[in-house]
Amino acid sequence: MVDFDVHTTNHRIDRALLMLEKSDILDKNRELITEFHEYAFSIGLTKMRVIKYVDTLRKLSGWLGVEFNKASKKDIFRLVREIEQKDYSEWTKHDYKVILKRFYKWLNGNEKYPENVEWVRTTFKKKNSKLPEELIGVEDVKKMINTAGHPRDKALVSLLYESGCRISEILNMRIKHLEFDEYGAKIIVNGKTGMRKIPIVSSTPSLAAWYEIHPSRDNPNAPLWVSIGTRNKGEPIKYHVVRGMLANLARKTGLKKRVHPHLFRHSRATHIASHFTEAQMNQYFGWIQGSEMPSTYVHLSGRDINEAVYRLNGLVKKDEDTKEKFSTKQCHRCEKVNPPTGKFCNRCGATLDLETAMNIEEKTKEVDEATDVLLKDPEFLNLLVSKIKQMNIQI
């Protein structure tokens, strides 16, 4: 089944080609980029990747200043220096150099990298990977869920974090890709390594609440995530809408960090790396077996060194360290399963955690003390009696 165009790629490829046509780069380079764009589609590259190639090669052409097919090794040295001096992330710089080499391999007949670019290093520098404080924490996620005003947005934020899925995988889900079971739910997503099924627990109440009011829940092929406004009501929501929604929620909750869809995946992988094996990480996040990605997140989580230090000092990790911090709350009174953000049971109204119960107890105590003071005030008692008589209430 065809995916939804969540990234508006058809419009964006047209825009990229229009910008290429209107740019003031050398005519020969424009011609070569156009030819390469057609080749890229012919070998099955995605539209998003082709857009990236076209936009990047247009910029590289402007910085290079000579025709691609006439560039010397010295010209490429100068170009790579230009890339490295840009205020870009390491990932962006890495991508620019990968695209440069891939383009020149095509220009060389796809046999091997020509001499002028074969020296370009495309190994990724991990020194600038995100630090734990740059990630989004569980409490941050809970605040955003509580701030969200609509069940759709609450469910989307919750699932985006718990599943750790790519945003395109989430937005391409259909009604039939959500299944509820005795433990919670399972979602089916289609990613870079194919289809995979992911068990969902904490987000189940939020997903159920959104499913109950979904305008097309009886149609298994309907998009799961749809617009709820009057303009595009019922249509699949786009990437930029979700990005804007997350940024708005982050601003409302006072988060200073830059919040975007992929940050949820990056953060979840770091948090979960302390509990999953590398093989489980690959399966859960949709990486190929043997990928180096799990080791990156194990390093960020500090799993190996933490355990070694605890063992060296004869310490045992507390149970709460291994328990999922983004978990559902079961009501002690009626056994209803509630969302991780819940303070009161959705069914019977009972408090769901000790902190909330203690806060209520404290407020109740304050009210009782204030009432005692008022009842000892003759002026207040006279006013109270007067009001009761006015209401014709028998004392």
Q: What is the pLDDT of residue 319?
A: 47
Query: Which numeric CATH code is attached to 132-312?
Result: 1.10.443.10
Q: What is the pLDDT of residue 230?
A: 79
Tokens for 25, please give them: 């780069």
> 47-64 vs 27-42: helix axis angle to the nearest 10?
160
- 383 neighbors 392 (Cβ within 8 angstroms): no
- pTM of the entire structure? 0.66
| First-residue to last-residue Cα distance in the chain | 73
Residue closest to 171 by CA, chosen among 152, 146, 148, 197: 152
Q: What is the pLDDT of residue 317?
A: 54
CA distance 292 to 269: 13
CA distance 141 to 206: 13
CA distance 25 to 47: 23
pLDDT one-digit tens code per residue, 276-297:
888 888 888 888 877 777 777 7
Residues 6 or more apart whose CB falls under 8 angstroms from that of 236 comprise 4, 5, 6, 171, 223, 225, 226, 227
- Residue 4 φ then ψ, to 5°: -75, 150
* Residue carrying the six token digits 């009604």: 175
The alpha carbon of residue 107 and the mean position of all alpha carbons in its chain are separated, in whole angstroms, by: 37
Q: Where are the domains of the chain?
A: 9-128, 132-312
What stretches in the chain show pLDDT beneath 70?
A: 1-2, 5, 124-133, 299-324, 332-333, 335, 349-350, 352-358, 361, 392-395
Q: What is the pLDDT of residue 290?
A: 76
